[in-house]
Structure formats: C-alpha cells, structure tokens
Structure 1
Amino acid sequence: MPENTRTTPVCQHSLLTAVAPQHAVVDSGSSALRHGRSARCCPERAERLTRLVHRDGPSTGTCPSRDEHAPFPQPMNPGDAMPSYEAVIFDFGGVLTTNLDDCARAFARRTGLPDDAYLHAVTVNPVGRQLFAQLERGDITQEAWNAEIAQLLGIDGTDLMRRALTPLKPEAPMVEAARAIRAAGLRTAVLSNSMGMSPFNLYEPWKLEDEHDVVVLSEQVRMRKPDPEIYQLTLRQLGCRGPECIFVDDIEANLRPAQDLGITTIHAQQPDQTLLRLGELLGLPIAVL
C-alpha cells in the first residue's frame, strides 16, 4: 500500500504513497539500455505467446516449483552474456487492480466525507502514514488499523478496510497479459504491500497462488516495499537473478531498489502504456498485449 508520491495530484500524495523516503527514480523506460542489452524474450516464447493470446483467450500455464529456501542466485559477472527475461514481477494494487485512489475517493463520498479526506488521512497525516507502514509489515492488526483510522476521520471503524476497498476490481487487460506471459513459459510473481489479512482478506478471491508462480505479501514476510530485502526474497523464490526479471509497480519509490538489483522496471501509470512497454521489453508484437 502506501509507499511514496505518484503522479496523481491528491494533496501531492496518493493512497499508495503514504510512507516511504522521498527520492527521484530513474525513468523505467531507460532500464534496458541502462543494463546494456536488447530487452527481449526468446523468439520461441514470443511466437508461443502470440498464438496463445490470439486464440479464444490465454490459458494458465504451469512452471517448475521453486524452493523458497534455495540459495540466492549468484550475481552475473561483467563478461557474462546477458540473459533473456525469465520472469515478470507484478505489484498488485493499482497494477493488477483498478486505481486505488479512485476507490478511496468513492469511499469518502459514500461516507459523507470530502473526496480526498480518506486519502489525506492515510497518506498525509503523519499518524495515518505510520499506521499504514505498521499494517503493511504486520506490526498491527487490520482491526487496530480500522479503529485508529476511523478515529482520525471521525467515522465508524467497523470493517473499515472492507468498506473502503469494495469498488476495487481486476484490471482485466493486465490480468490477462500476466496469464499469457506465464503460459508462454515465463514465470510470474506478485509482490504486494498488503493491507492486513483479517477480518478482510483482499487477496482471497483472486487465487493468486494459482495464477502466479510466486506470491510475496508484505505482512507474511514482515517487510515491505521499498525494503531491499523483500525484492531479494522475491528473486530467491523465483530462482532468478535481477537482470532476468521485469518489475511492474505504480509507485516510483518502489522501483529504485529493484533497479539496484539489476531488475528492469516499468512505472505503471496507465494500463495501455504498461502493456505497450511490456511488449517492447519482451520483444512481442504490440497487438499481442
């Protein structure tokens, strides 16, 4: 959830940008060049993905399971040939789902608050920002968060997280693209700053473990983006080195630690542009995605 500022002009913050260091991030569009390679998947995978997406719909492929306790893959030597991409790592909220800020504004209106009141409470108010960081790391329960945020807003805190996220829906083109990428033989992962798992589990209906090879939720591992260790954990579970992966996130502050590990990044702002960039990096016809 909240990590740093985005481009959405809500009091210069957003629901996903509440508690992280303020620093600039290199534009993800230059990542492939920065790593000194042509950013492509192998032709066989591209051809397979083209066939998959142009039929009735992408099927869900299966990939080899990975030991989450396996040693961290060794870094590449400067003289090593650059690999093709092996995996794509997706953020959840705001990438595989519809926009969380829009969801927050809708909640405020339903509750009789000013449009940006809820966003302000969790992204600008220092107490609210700290509460979200604690929730993401599993340091406090969702019920405790509900009560504290409700007090800041002066509203009923009963099942607040569920009420706030009711309008959230799948971002269908992104979900389908992830399925097609996996079916083509690449691994996919979800790396998400969670919002508590009880009493409301946002992830449960999505069956993420069935759709992706690796799922890393911050509360379960007691660390959050942009902590570098959570990216290292994700690579370890994928069995990949950084330069073999693409990471898609809608929060700029979450991209820098991934780039530091050699991961190519995409700053997701509009689904069509994100899909276009994925197509370019994977060497796929744009129409495929």
Structure 2
Amino acid sequence: MATGLALHIGLNSVDPARYEGWDGTLVACENDARDMARLAGTAGFESTVLLTPDGTVDNVTAALGDAAARLGSGDILLLTYSGHGGQVDATGSDDEPDALDETLVLYDRQFLDDEVQQAFRAFADDVRIFALFDCCHSGSSIEVPGGGAAAEGTPRHLPEPQQRQLADRDRGFFEELRRTLAKDPPTDGAGPDALLVSACQDNQVALDGDVNGAFTTALLRVWDDGAFRGGYRDFHRAIQRRLPPTQSPNLYLTGTPTTDFLSQRPFTI
C-alpha cells in the first residue's frame, strides 16, 4: 500500500530582523496550512505543519529530507505553502528566461526555487510530488514583478522597496548558493517528476483574505469536502474559473509526470 506524507507551511509574518525591519504581516496563511492539513488527513496523508516562527529554512529542508528518506517508489509527497512569494535576480542563470528566481519567503530568509528542486531531487524515482503554493510570483516556483493590476485585497508578495533592499544585501549570498547547488546537478539531466498548482503566474500577485487566501478559498470550494471528481488538469481548470484574470492559477510540470499520475483524482495516495 502506498504511503502519503504531507508538509504544510503557513506564515502570517516573517522575522523583521532578517528582512530589514519588514514583518510581512498577513492574516490567513496559518489558516490555509491548517485547512490543507485537515484535507490531507481526510485523504490519508500523515502531515507535518510548520506555522510562522517554525517556517524556517532549516525546518523546511529537514522536513523534506525526512520525507525523502521515508518515501519510496509509488508513494506521494504533498507540499503546501501559504505566505509571501518573492523574486530575486538570477542574471546569468541558464534556467531562468526572465533572469529571476522565484522564492518562498520563509521566516528567516527567501528560499529559492532552485532549493526546492534540490530538495525534490533527494526523493526516490517514481515518488509522486504534488505542490500547492498560495503566494505571489508562484507560477514556476518548483523550478516578473508587476503584472496586471490586482483585485482589491492584500497581496502576498515582498514589497518592491524591501525587494530591492534585500537584493542588494543578499546578492553575494544567493550567487554563492546557486554555485553550490550547481555542483550537484541530477545525474541524468532530468528534474524530479512533480506537478505544481500555484495561486498565480510568475508575474502576478496572489491575494490574502479574512479566513483563507483567495486561491485556497477557491481550491477548498472546488474540492467540496471530497466531492470533486477529475484529474489534476481538471482540478486546476476548476480553480482557475473561480479566480479573476489578475490572479490566474498555473499548472506547472517538472520532470515527466506520468499520464496515470496526472489523471488521478488530486490527493490520491
């Protein structure tokens, strides 16, 4: 019988000491993580939940490493993130056509999409990976600020002044981190077999809410306590129909997810 492990990350703020005084206050991200954990538990997943101060780079990488050690062929990882999303300069990177790395804004620092990929590469062949990211600039976050005007609400993105300030401060750190990650590429040149349904495109922002984020609200309504029937592509399209063009959820594939995986009902272990 297959095993399903889930990691749910929800950050209603970040450490201002690590973000030049900015605390990134949001309302609904911890609720999103708890609700996704309840959904996952109903579906049979064993969940780990990391909320605000526990959503650090070390804790996230440790939880992903533990899951990689436990899951084998035919098993599934569910990764959900709710919080701020960011982008950092990736000039000179061959795998970023827009010269930007998308980031998850964790409690202590930004977590590059390259680091997500690095964590995923530790999983055994044929482990299914399903990611749900409710944050700004998340269209390809398992791998440009200023899209169209957003609907009314609080965007889940690192504001431009802080983005510039942190970019100047951390440029050397991220350049060295990318060099370190590049020393350990996948041996066959392929990435992990994973699919991401994200809250928006890379050049868009995702909105917070009073109870849940706009994307998570749409997802939960589509899921309808398990009444949803259909595969991952159907799931993505149904969520997309519930959100405005200014926040258009993305379906992003990395590696070569099988047709059987894509056609499964979401959250199937």
Higher relative contact order (CA 8 A, sep 6+): 1
TM-score by shorter chain over 0.5: no
TM-score by length of 1: 0.27
Bigger helix fraction: 1
Q: Which has the higher strand share?
A: 2
* TM-score, normalised relative to structure 2: 0.28
